[in-house]
Chain A
Amino acid sequence: MIKFEQPVLSINNLNKQFGKGCPSCKGSNEDSLKKNYCPVCGTVYACQNIMFEVYAGEILGVVGESGSGKSTLMQCLYFDQEVSSGEAYISSYKDGKTDVFAESSQQKRYIRNHMMGKVYQNPLLGLRINFTSIGNIAEKLIAAGNRHVGKMEARGKELLEHVNIPIYRMKEAPKNFSGGMQQRVQIAKALSNNPPLLLLDEVTTGLDLSVQASVLDLIKTIQRELQITVVIVSHDLGVIRMLADRTMVMLDGRIIEQGLTDQILEDPQHGYTQHLVQSLL
């Protein structure tokens, strides 16, 4: 098979479990566990043997029902959670030859501040809700090593303009903003350090249709203009259809199917994916 470029992010055998495990579940083949939960010790296997690659300028969608491990996967990728085992390689970090999961906390912070951006479903997690909007952006810029106040303000204004937040409201705290505006401030904050990789965790959930459309449009425009790589988690197949080039389907902590988005939606192979697609409104 011809490989014509290096992946921006490569994940190899990522596992994340909550709980210590017991002889009963440790001894058994994980694939033989009917659910990702051990009834004996209560250990939850949130992510099991996750393997995928994302390429430059690509949008990868991750779908699955609640509890399938999508958000845990995103938390692991953004180092919000420590992985139980597995490897990750980022092309912009040491030429993509070093496993970033094995790096020190300091290095992980460096990677997060310089090479990644994340937009959370809940703006309370991604923003300091009582800070000013531009202050939120400045926080990320300072973390990425910027110190020049004038330059940071100029960058903040540029980003807020890009996500259609009026400049005269830049000194207002996001707590006064609507849900859609809060998401847009989060997007601006996530983009402030020019990350090659953007992680979006259920960004449109809870927004009304009109705001959803404007957020989707914004993501698509930004992705095309900046040519960044995006991993987007959603349980809304409509969002995935609109945005993603390729899609992975997760169930009980495992990837059960992956392929081109239109192929996943029109010719799903796995029984669960068929069930999921049939539920599409």
Chain B
Amino acid sequence: MEKILAIEHLSKTFVIHNLNKHIEALRDVCIDLKEGEFVGITGKSGSGKSTVFKCIYRTYAPQQGCIWYHSKKFGLINLAELSERQMIYLRKYEIGYVSQFLNIMPRTTARELVKQAVLEMGYEEERAELEAVKMLEHFELDQELWDCYPGTFSGGEKLRLNIARAMVKRPRLLLLDEPTASLDPASKLKVRELIEQLKREGTTMIGIFHDIEFMENLCTREYTMRDGKLADLEL
């Protein structure tokens, strides 16, 4: 299997100017991911798991190291040095991100939100509607909620919607930042089913989980992080 992502010696330090402080968040992190794999990252809060994700997604600007990604459009590229335009393209078509929080336009219904993700990719209205409905049905989001504003949803409902929005694009690489954090067991099972389905379809995924039980038999490999470094590698 070909490598789709290879993080080499990634380091990240936050500089807080008004306090004149340097906070080291990541040191010399190396992670690789082959096509079709699902790699899990565990670790305590503050160990740097989300920082790795945000560096891949370029929400954080990496300082040292390389993040090699094998793009369908651009070939082998270093995400750490990629132009903003290219990153926007990759976010739209190739890399999906499910965060712990739902950040949305006000007064946008759940259905619209999922639809917009498809429309952004250039598909037609009818196809977008079809895909959105399929995804909302798959996650068993109460049909009554489809045309409601997600601001009033419960944490679990918001998260399900967040996952639906990312997954409807069928990205090549999916980053899952604690997607099951506030879900009930039934919803967790749904997420698991969907992850398994995506795995079968060949989507490469990397996920942060606190729930080690959830990761079992689902992840191809696991990494553990401690104090901004990779602790060990379990096969």
Contacts and interface: CB of A to CB of B under 8 A. Distances in A.
Interface of A: 1-5, 55, 58, 213-214, 216-217, 220, 224, 241-242, 245-246, 259-260, 262-263, 266-267, 269-271, 274-275
A105 to B, nearest CB: 33
A5 B84 CA distance: 13
B18 A217 contact: no
A257 to B, nearest CB: 10
B17 A271 contact: yes
A260 B106 contact: no
B85 interface: yes
Contact of A266 (B17, B59, B107): B59
A229 to B, nearest CB: 12
Contact of A224 (B59, B88, B120): B120
A7 B59 CA distance: 23
Interface in B1-34: 14-18
Contacts of B107: 213-214, 217
**Interface magnitude class on chain B:** 20 to 34
B119 interface: yes
Given A217-B105, A267-B61, A4 B85 contact: yes
Contacts of A274: 16-18
B105 A242 contact: yes
A217 B108 contact: yes
A153 to B, nearest CB: 27
Contacts of A245: 88
B18 A266 contact: no
A174 B58 CA distance: 44
Nearest to A214: B107
B145 interface: no
B187 interface: no
**Top 6 A-B pairs, shortest CB-CB distance:** A271-B17, A213-B106, A267-B60, A262-B59, A213-B107, A266-B59
A269 B85 contact: no
Contacts of A55: 85
Contacts of B105: 216-217, 220, 242
Contact of A217 (B14, B87, B106): B106
B229 interface: no
A5 B85 CA distance: 10
28 contacts: A1-B83, A2-B74, A2-B83, A2-B86, A4-B85, A4-B86, A58-B85, A213-B106, A213-B107, A217-B107, A220-B105, A241-B103, A242-B105, A245-B88, A246-B84, A246-B88, A259-B84, A262-B59, A263-B59, A263-B60, A266-B54, A266-B60, A267-B54, A267-B60, A269-B15, A269-B61, A274-B16, A275-B17
